[in-house]
Every structure is written in structure tokens, then in C-alpha cells.
Amino acid sequence: MSHDETLKESLTRNGVSRRGFLKFCATAASIMALPPSMVPAIAAALESARRPSVIWLSFQECTGCAESLTRSHSPTVEGLIFDAISLDYQHTLQAAAGDAAEEAREEAMKENWGKYILVVDGSIPLGNPGYSTIAGISNLDMLKETAKGAAAIVAVGTCATFGGIPKANPNPTGAVSVSDIIKDKPIVNVSGCPPIPVVITGVLAHFLTFGTIPELDELGRPKVFYGNNIHDRCYRRPFYERGEFAETFDDEGAKKGWCLFKLGCKGPITYNACATAKWNEGTSFPIESGHGCLGCSEPNFWDMGGFYKALSQPAVDVSQTAAYALGAGAVAGLGIAALNRKKKADVATDHQTVTIHDLRRNDPSKTEAEDS
């Protein structure tokens, strides 16, 4: 498979017909949330698109993101798009190992300098470079080196986008996200733990088709996929409005499919495509299977106060703080009370009785004669 081959050629070689190709374009349009009228334009763009080289670096991660992508049922648009790129380096998927693998990375970088897409999953430890290394190279060095020649970076998963679980309190490795380190390249944050497969491929499809990265939100996430709030799209929303909440996972409310807010659902603060794109070939999404949203596509989702604590509850222990403040307030109040009492007592002791005679005596306008 050469990089000079166009996407169309590659798909044809893989036995994809013209009809199949247009279907692929239509699917690509729909995952990029583009109108069907865009399909011919996409087809034209893709027909001449060169298969871009993709280098995938995995740092402090669990391989869940790669699993999410590769375990999606085939044949799918995800699979097709994966055929459409040249994945030149990926620990989990590549056959080569050791030096051969590193050589493959270096070669791909040299050949496609300035043009390749860098995909990163996992966070980068800054505490000690030894926490995570590949072929003796620290994650930080490898990221910096590989990012230099990249056309764009796609941070896949919440670890790479926001630090994720490694960064969770107390962040033992000093983990940071890709965008904390790389400042001079376009970075697309595809967050989620793991991200929805179609979202990962949607970003790649966008890059393939338009050669640019999609429009991003304030957290660097593509708006087309992260523009919707889970709570806004949740089919349990009417129960929320009516104040009908499941109190436990097996009570009447849970059986009736009531809102999971009290069981810790973070849907109201989570932006992702789960409620619309769904998981497992469109089967369902977590709330549909009876579990509240964890908010996995948001920064700090691990530290939001607990997965099973309602969103409106404090993220920290306030009761104890309040108890201390109460004690301190009482002590200070008694202190002030003592001061006030002292003032009152002082006033009482300092009180001098004054006679009419005393007042007159001090008045110079009155003469002694008048006085007597």
C-alpha cells in the first residue's frame, strides 16, 4: 500500500464498488453532520485524496480507546476509513516490535514530514520521565519530536485531551494533556473514556475530505460531535422535568425508567454524541441501559465528587467544614458577647451622678450671684 495511492484506488482495490464508495461518502457526510447535498463534493474530494500517513502514539493509557475503535463491528465506516489511512505506527496493532517499530515511526515521519496526522492516546507524565517510556524514550520527548512534523494532532480519549484518570487527584505521575505541551499545532480533542468510534473516524474523515480540522468548541472538541448536551438529548428528560427520579438502581422508579439525576447522572454538564450516535452499532448509550452518565468526555470527570453523587451535591465534604465554622462562630460570638458585657458594666461603673448645681457651676455665662 503506497501513500501515493488515492483513497478511491485503495477502496477499489479492497473490492469497494462505485455504489459502495458513494455509500461510504454518504455515511461520511452523515457522521460529519453534513447535509446529503454535500455527498458529491465529498466524493470528488475523496476520489483524489491521498491516503494520509497516521502515526499513533500511546502514552499513559489503557488501550480502551484503540479497543473502542477496532472492536466496532465490521464492516463499518470505521473500518473503511481505517483502510483509507496509512496507519504507520501503532503499538497495539502493528506487527513490528522493538527497534523495527521505532524505525517505522521515524521513516514515516521523514517521508511525510509536515503532512502526517499524529494521533495520541494517553496522558503524558511530567513528574518523572521514567514513569512511562517507549523504547527508552520518554513520552514527553517522543510527543515533542513527533509533533514537530505533524500537520495536525488528534488527541483521542480523555487522558490525551484533558489528562483523564492519570491526572485524577492526587495525580501521582504529574500527568498532563497533549494541549498542555504542544502549543503550535492544530489539536483536535476527541474526548471520551473511550470516545465514540464514529467520532474518532468522523474527525479523520473530515481531515481526509477537506484537509482541515473541523470547527472546535472552547475545549478544543469538534462542535459537530460535542455540540449537544446529553441532558438536552436524553429521552429520560421528561421525568427530570416532572421530578420523577430513581432513588436506587432497583426501585420502582428505576424500573419505570425515571431520571437518574439523584443516582449521580452527570448528563446536564456533559457534551458528547452518546445520546444520538449511541454505542455498539447504535444499540444504546449508558443512560439507556440504566446507569447515569459519568461525564467521561469532560475535564476532571474523575474528580467531580463521585459518580453516584448527584450533580448538585458538593464535590467536597461541606458538612464538616460547616461544623467547624459553627464552632468558631460560637466562640467568636461569645467573645464579642463578653466584650459587650464589659462595655455595659464599665458604663455602669463610670456613671457619675450630676446635680443641677454641678451643671451650673461650669457655665461661665452664669455669675456666682445669680447662682446663689
The residue ranges that bind other proteins (CB under 8 A) are 162, 218-219, 229, 231-232, 240-243, 245, 261-262, 268-269, 298-300, 303-305, 309-316, 318-319, 321-322, 324-326, 328-330, 332-334, 336-337, 340-341
Binding partner of 243, given other proteins, ligand SF4, none, CB within 5-8 angstroms per partner class? other proteins
Q: How many CA atoms lie within 13 A of 217 on its CB side?
A: 18
Q: How many CA atoms lie within 13 A of 136 on its CB side?
A: 3
Q: Evaluate whether 297 touches 226 at the Cβ level (below 8 Å).
A: yes
Angle between helices 39-48 and 18-31 (to 10 degrees): 110
Asked whether position 221 contacts ligand SF4 by CB under 6 A, the answer is no
> Cα separations (Å) of 283 from 256, 274, 278, 287?
19, 11, 6, 12
Q: Evaluate whether 291 touches 185 at the Cβ level (below 8 Å).
A: no
**62 annotated among ligand-binding-site residues:** yes
**3 annotated among ligand-binding-site residues:** no
Binding partner of 300, given ligand SF4, other proteins, none, CB within 5-8 angstroms per partner class? other proteins
Binding partner of 269, given ligand SF4, other proteins, none, CB within 5-8 angstroms per partner class? other proteins
Binding partner of 267, given ligand SF4, other proteins, none, CB within 5-8 angstroms per partner class? ligand SF4
**274 annotated among ligand-binding-site residues:** yes
**159 annotated among ligand-binding-site residues:** yes
**265 annotated among ligand-binding-site residues:** yes
Cβ burial of 277 (10 Å; 0-12, 13-18, 19+) is middle
Binding partner of 315, given ligand SF4, other proteins, none, CB within 5-8 angstroms per partner class? other proteins
Q: Evaluate whether 175 touches 163 at the Cβ level (below 8 Å).
A: yes
- Minimal CB distance residue for ligand SF4: 267
User: Strand, helix or coil at 38?
Assistant: helix
Q: Which of residues 332 and 359 has its CB atom nearest to other proteins in the complex?
A: 332
Instruction: Tell me, residue by residue from 279 to 318, as one string, x for binding to ligand SF4 by CB under 6 A and - for no binding.
Output: --------x----xx-------------------------
The x, y and z cell numbers of residue 351, run together, are 456613671
Give the single-character DSSP code of 16: -
Q: Which of residues 14 and 300 has its CB atom nearest to other proteins in the complex?
A: 300
Q: Evaluate whether 56 touches 186 at the Cβ level (below 8 Å).
A: no
* Contact positions vs ligand SF4 (CB under 6 A): 230-231, 234, 236-237, 240, 259-261, 265, 267-268, 287, 292-293
Which residues define the annotated binding site for [3Fe-4S] cluster? 274, 293, 296
